[in-house]
Amino acid sequence: MSVMISNCLAALGRRQHSYALLGLLCLPLAPPSLAHDPEAAPSPCARPAADEALRQVLRRRPGHPIPVLRYEDDFICDDKHIPPANYNLLGDPIPVPDRWRIVDSFYPENLYDPYNNNNPLKGDKPIWGEDWFFSITAISDSVFEPRRIPTPVGNASTDRPNSLDLIGQGNQFLFNHNLILENVVYKGDTVFRPPDYEVRFTPVINYNETHVDEVGALKANPGAGRTRRETFVGVQALFLDVHLRNVSDRYDFDSVRVGIQPFQTDFRGFLFQDQQFGVRLFGTRDNNIFQYNLAWFRRLEKDTNSGLNDIGQALRDDDVYVANLYWQDFLKLGFVSQATIVHNRNREKGQITFDDNNFIARPASLGLERSRNYDVTYIGYNGDGHIDRLNLTASFYYAFGEESNGTFVNASTDISAFFAAIEASMDFDWTRVRLSWLHGSGDDDPFDDKAEGFDAIFENPVFAGADTSFFIRQAVPLIGGGRVALSTRNGILNNLRSSKELGQSNFTNPGINLLGVGADFDITPTFRFSFNINQLWFDTTEVLEAARNQAEIDKDIGLDVSGAVIYRPLATQNIVLRFSAAKLYPGQGYDDLFGDQSSHSVLANLLLMY
């Protein structure tokens, strides 16, 4: 019983303190009397004085104050008496070598349970020394995707009788599986500050399989057939992070990171969201109100069909320089503002690059099909947060610079393009309703000395339904314009590139306008239903008319309708099942390009995480 009293007192505090509610918290553990030395004179703290004080706490009449009980010299007394000086209820504390011994005594090691408090594979205790930790995260990401997309064919490649048009059968099926193994070794106490050192290595093992109805759609050689199966191992992270210094008592800091690392220039991935080789200096100021980044990246070549980094090839002659500043609670409490400057320097003129399927990637097969250099600077403002009940995300970019020659003219052109996107939402109990608007400027004269179509460096937007949307997720080929697409896979801009992984930015493009509505319904903590409806238009169509040699193409792309169901049976991210479907109801512009083509996609995704 004395041990239980000791534990209770230890939980409430140490010596020479008063506790007004001690009896309410600990009296159920108290013995019927407080023993003392029988040889000594009767203690004023012994029964009945102390016991009566305890009973008064338990049996307090309404409206009467609670007696104050004090802990003095390891003994409980009421506020009128002093206990014997030689009485020690708690005893001397027992020293413990380190806190990990305590963890070991309560929780046995369990390598299979990622949530157990004593798993050395999840950073719950040091792997060596006092503060060197290791953490591994394993993710299995499987995608099953039937779809129907306008598919180009040629007279020399089609094997279907009476099928000599530009567009063939568009049924396709994709299976893609990534096994991601993130390994992190770090040193230091990361509760209040960054680690002193961190080394991260993330290999990804990919298997992808694609089936189509037309030969020549997967490989440049029609003899390759209608099925493609490939495996690839990429490295998505390999860096060293060093904590340089703390600059305040609240652990504002400066750190540097060198190697292949993830980086995102804005909140929604509109401009540059990728894992590239680079050097990044970053940190915080003024109690984390300000965060900054100064970074340089040199882009890696990518595997064509998996999109993963290919470290077996030389780095591209394509540099990205970034400087940005985040300001917490600027303009409004709960809203984060960011100012950013990004410069993209490309020196790949004279290079001719084919992808793994033997299609030309640089330069894109569009216009004069000439390689080029370009320097473009992006000045942007981004905001994310809430203004009272309104959740708001906003991005604005202006791009300017120069390219050595244009897409349709053999002379240098000046780049001047705009981008804006706003998504507002509001929560009503278990429902979030949102409204999305986006504008990317288009080039209304492909033959002048100005390039006015906005293009990103490497976009991966989380916006307007994200990859649930048909038009954002799928790369719809621009038939007649060569091996280029209206927009790249997992992209929203109509940039007419060969691919965002291997191609160059293209500022001679038709641009895009989007207006969308959507909602998320959290039916239960484990089950969510979402839907999105986006109306899409080209900003201009002159570039499309020049590429297709086709007059009077309408601006209306169509209505993109999509829905998704997300189920997390454990109410965590360890098991996530997602099923989505999307259909594009074509507008006049889509019909002008592809005729009466049905376009839709279905996605089933299973994610398992350790």
Average pLDDT over residues 145-157: 78
**pLDDT on residue 169:** 80
Identify the H or E element spanning 543: helix 542-548
CA angle 279, 200, 289 (to 5 degrees): 60
pLDDT band at 483 (very low <50, low <70, confident <90, very high): confident
CA distance 537 to 587: 9
- Distance, in Å, from the CA atom of 74 to the CA atom of 88, rounded to the nearest integer, reads 5
Average pLDDT across the chain, whole number: 85
Task: Give the whole-angstrom CA distance, residue 141 versus residue 175.
Answer: 11
144 CB burial (10 A radius; 0-12, 13-18, 19+):
middle
Report yes or no: 420 and 383 within 8 Å, Cβ to Cβ. Answer: no
Most confident of 161-165, 256-260, 363-367: 256-260
Q: Which domains does the chain have, with CATH numbers?
A: 2-78 (no CATH), 132-609 (2.40.160.100)
**Using an 8 Å Cβ cutoff, are 114 and 574 in contact?**
yes
Average the pLDDT over each of 149-153, 374-378, 444-448, 461-465 and give the range with the smallest value. Answer: 149-153
Stretch 311-325: mean pLDDT: 97
- Residue 110: the pLDDT is 80
Higher-confidence residue of 33 and 170: namely: 170
Task: Report which secondary-structure segment, H or E, holds 545.
Answer: helix 542-548
Kindly state the percentage of the chain with pLDDT values over 90. 66
Q: Is the pLDDT confidence value at 396 over 90?
A: yes
Other CB atoms within 10 A of residue 430 CB? 12
Tell me the mean pLDDT in the region 240-259. 95
Structure tokens at 244: 């340089």
Mean per-residue pLDDT for 8-13? 39
Tell me what the mean pLDDT of segment 469-484 comes to.
Answer: 82
Mean pLDDT (whole number) for 511-537: 97
Q: How far apart are CA 232 and CA 224, in angstroms?
A: 19
Q: Which residue would you say has higher pLDDT here, 318 or 191?
A: 318
Residue 80 three-state SS:
coil
Mean pLDDT of 45-70: 53
Q: Categorize the per-residue pLDDT at 76 as very low, low, confident or very high, splitting at 50, 70 and 90.
A: very low
Q: What is the mean pLDDT of residues 512-518?
A: 98
What is the mean predicted confidence (pLDDT) over 335-352?
Answer: 96
Q: Which of 594, 595, 566, 598 is nearest to 583 (CA)?
A: 598
In this prediction, what percent of the chain has a pLDDT beyond 70?
80
Enter the pTM of the model: 0.82
pLDDT greater than 90 at residue 65: no
Yes or no: say if 173 and 211 are a contact pair by the CB < 8 Å rule.
yes
**CB of 476 closer than 8 Å to CB of 491:** no
Other residues' Cβ atoms within 10 Å of the Cβ of residue 392: 17
d(CA 397, CA 51): 75
From the centroid of its chain, how far is CA 457?
18
DSSP per residue over 16-66, as a string?
Answer: SEEETTHHHHHGGG--SS----TTSPPPTTSTTHHHHHHHHHHTPPTTSPP
Over residues 12-38, mean pLDDT? 38
- pLDDT value at position 71? 46
Q: pLDDT at residue 209 above 70?
A: yes
